[in-house]
Amino acid sequence: MKEPENHSCQWLITAAVIVTQDDGRRILDNGAVAVADGRVTAVGPVSDFADLSVEKRLDLGNALLMPGLINAHTHVSMTFFRGLADDLPLMKWLTEYIFPREQRLDPDIVELGALLGCAEMLRTGATSFADMYLFEDAVAAAVDKAGLRCLLGEAVFAFPTPASATAEESLARIRRQAERYKAHPRLSVAVMPHTVYTTTPEILAACRDLADDLKLPVHIHLAETRSEVESCLEQHGRRPVAYCRDLGLLRPSTSVAHGVELNDGELDILAQAGVTVAHNPRSNMKLASGVAPVPGMLSRGMLPALGTDGAASNNALNMFAEMSACALLHKVRGLDPTLCPAQIVLDMATLGGAKALGLEGLGRITPGAPADMIALDLSSPNLQPLYRPVSHLVYAASGHEVMMTMVDGRPLYHNGQWLTIDYPLLLKEAAKLKKWAGVPSMPLSAGAY
Ligand SMILES: [Zn+2]
C-alpha cells in the first residue's frame, strides 16, 4: 500500500471485511480505506492508518466493504413499466403493452422513472450503469441528482420516436450531449444504436462515424434472439455479428447487450475484436430469449459484464439478483456445477462492467481508483456464518443487506436513508407513473397448474 502517513484525507472508512477486487483478489479482515478528492488513496489493515490525520471517519463495524457493482446494460427509466405485463410472448408484450405507452413518453416521465431506478440501484449496491433510452438528458438530470455514475446513450432508431423524428436528429442529440457532459465527473456519453433490426446499414455506419469523430464508445443490443438472427440473415445476408463487424462496429470500446445467439465463430470474432458482452441472465430467462454462451466467452479469455436490462423485463435493477442468476443459470445449462464460479461472477459485475463502460479504473478498491464502494451488513442472518465472503456475495446476499453506497467519495445511501433523494417525495411522485401508464387489461391466465 501507499504510505498513508504522508497525506491527510477526507474519509477513513473501516470495516470488518474488505473485498478489494485488486489484481490479487485480496480480502482484508479489519481493513481501512482512505479516500481523498473522490479517489481511494490507500487500502490496508486498520493498524496501518493509526497516525493518519482525517477529516471524517466512517466506522462501518461488522460490515463487508467492496467495490460498487456496475450495471452494464439497463433502461433505468423503465421502472414505470415494472410489473405492468408479464408472462406474455415477446411481440405481444412489446406491441400491445410497451410500445403504445412509449409513444406518450416525455422528459418528465423519463426523469421520474430514472430517479426511481437510481434509488433502487443505490439501495441494492450498484454505483454505475450504462443506460440506453430516449430523452437521455432527462436521465442525466436524475443521475446527476442521485449521484451515481452513468454512461448515457440516446437510442438510435430508423423510425420516429417521441424524442426524435429521425435517426439524424438522434445523432445530433448525441453530439450535443457529448459536448454538454464532457467535463462532468460522473456522466459520459456513448453512441447506442438500438438493434440491427430497428436500424439500417446507413444508420449503423453513421453511428460508427459519430463514435469515431467524438471518440465515444458504442453499445447495441446484439444477437438477443433467434428471430433477430433470422431477420438479419434474410435482410442483410449475414448473421448480426458478421453484419456489425463488416460495418466496423466491433472494437475494444464496443459493448453489446445480450449476445445470446452466438456460435463458436462469432465468439472468436468478438474475442478477437476485444468487444465486451453485457450478459443479462434474468431478462433472457423472463423473455425466454435463451442462454448466452458465457462459458464459451470465458474460455476465450473474455470477461463479460453483467446487466439487469430494464425493469419491464426483469423486473428488478438488483445486481445481486443478477449475479446469483448468472452463477446458477450456466451450471444448469451446462449440467456442470464448476461453471461460472462465484469469483468469476463477481469479476463480471465489477471489472467486466468497468471495461464495458470504458472506465477501467472502476470495479476495484485500489489506490487511485474512483471511490465507488458499497458496504453490506454482515449481521444479516442469511450471511451467517461467514467462511468465504465472495461466496456470500453471489449465492447468499439479496442486495438488501447493503447499508452504505458511496460514489466518487460521497455517501449517497446510508443506514436506510437516501442522502441525495427525497425518498418520501419520490414515492408520492411515483404514484403518477401508474396514472400515466394506465392500468392494463391483462387477461388472467386460466391455465392448469
Ligand atoms: Zn435492453
Q: What pLDDT was estimated at residue 449?
A: 52
Tally Cβ neighbours within 10 Å of residue 106.
Answer: 13
Q: What pLDDT was estimated at residue 447?
A: 47
DSSP assigned state of 163: S
Q: What pLDDT was estimated at residue 441?
A: 64
Cα 324 from chain centroid? 15
- Entry field: residues in the chain: 449
Cα 92 to ligand 1 centroid, rounded to whole Å: 17
Cα 220 to ligand 1 centroid, rounded to whole Å: 9
Percentage of the chain with pLDDT > 90? Answer: 89
| Cα distance between residue 375 and residue 90, in whole Å | 37
pLDDT digits (tens, 9 = 90+) for 354-377: 999 999 799 999 999 999 999 999
| Cα distance between residue 350 and residue 212, in whole Å | 27
Q: What pLDDT was estimated at residue 8?
A: 57
Q: What is the mean pLDDT of the chain?
A: 95
| Cα distance between residue 123 and residue 415, in whole Å | 10
| Cα distance between residue 350 and residue 143, in whole Å | 19
Least confident of 6-10, 61-65, 142-146: 6-10
Q: What structural domains and CATH numbers belong to the chain?
A: 4-67+364-418 (2.30.40.10), 69-356 (3.20.20.140)
| Cα distance between residue 39 and residue 443, in whole Å | 52
Cα 236 to ligand 1 centroid, rounded to whole Å: 22
Owner of C-alpha cell 464508445: 217
Please check the confidence at residue 326 and state whether its pLDDT lies above 90: yes
Please check the confidence at residue 7 and state whether its pLDDT lies above 70: no
Q: What pLDDT was estimated at residue 225?
A: 95
- Which amino acid makes up residue 16? A
Residue 449 or 44, more confident: 44
pLDDT band at 5 (very low <50, low <70, confident <90, very high): very low
Cα 180 to ligand 1 centroid, rounded to whole Å: 25
C-alpha cell at 393: 456475495
DSSP 200-249: -HHHHHHHHHHHHHHT--EEEEES-SHHHHHHHHHHHSS-HHHHHHHTT-
Cα 155 to ligand 1 centroid, rounded to whole Å: 10
